[in-house]
Amino acid sequence: MLKEMADNDFIVSKTDLKGKITYCNKIFMKMAEYKEEELLGEPHNIIRHPDMPKAVFKYLWDTIPTKQEVFAFVVNRTKNDNHYWVFTNVTASVDNNGKIIGYYSVRRKPNPEALKVIIPLYKEMLRVEKSEGVEASFKVLTDILQEKGVGYDELIISLQK
């Protein structure tokens, strides 16, 4: 069953450097259908949906350690096998010396018009990923970016508006 976030909801979570959840807000727990004690210390991919192309997470994990923020549309799976879409922003958390000490993610309701573009794109990326691998899947995305003459962030942010 598809769950939807309310317009003013924000899901917030923090992880350590290995992606284990160190903080989650109540909206995260409500949407993911987990209790706080079931989430803390678990890898953030506990909510990863099998319909998400691995290439999107590869881009995310290649980018955020460089202290650049990443925006993405993500479908998550709940504890009870429901799912929900989010528009997410992920950034590195740094200490006073600029050293990365974890990651911070804020998610909100995605623009429904954006999902009309993203869902077929992710389906195609997954199809390619299953037969040719993650790099080939990512090439599906980069080919579209090249065709449109935009960068990844430009495309993703423009879809959310």
Q: Residue 103 is encoded by which pair of tokens? A: 């990651």
pLDDT tens for residues 95-146? 999 999 999 999 999 999 999 999 999 999 999 999 999 999 999 999 999 9
pLDDT tens for residues 63-85? 999 999 999 999 999 999 999 99
Q: What is the pLDDT of residue 127?
A: 97
CA distance 108 to 95: 26
1 part of a folded domain: no
Q: Residue 28 is encoded by which pair of tokens? A: 């995260």
Q: What is the pLDDT of residue 92?
A: 97
134 part of a folded domain: yes
CATH code of 101's domain:
3.30.450.20
pTM of the predicted model over 0.85: yes
Domain that residue 40 falls in = 10-160
pLDDT tens for residues 4-29? 999 999 999 999 999 999 999 999 99
4 part of a folded domain: no
Is-contact 8 106, C-beta < 8 A? no
5 part of a folded domain: no
Is-contact 86 5, C-beta < 8 A? yes
Q: Residue 39 is encoded by which pair of tokens? A: 């989430």
90 part of a folded domain: yes
CA distance 125 to 136: 8
123 part of a folded domain: yes
19 part of a folded domain: yes
pLDDT tens for residues 20-62? 999 999 999 999 999 999 999 999 999 999 999 999 999 999 9
First CA to last CA distance, the chain = 26
CA distance 31 to 145: 31
CA distance 137 to 124: 8
Overall domain count for the chain: 1
3 part of a folded domain: no
For residue 70, give the H/E element and its range.
Answer: strand 70-77
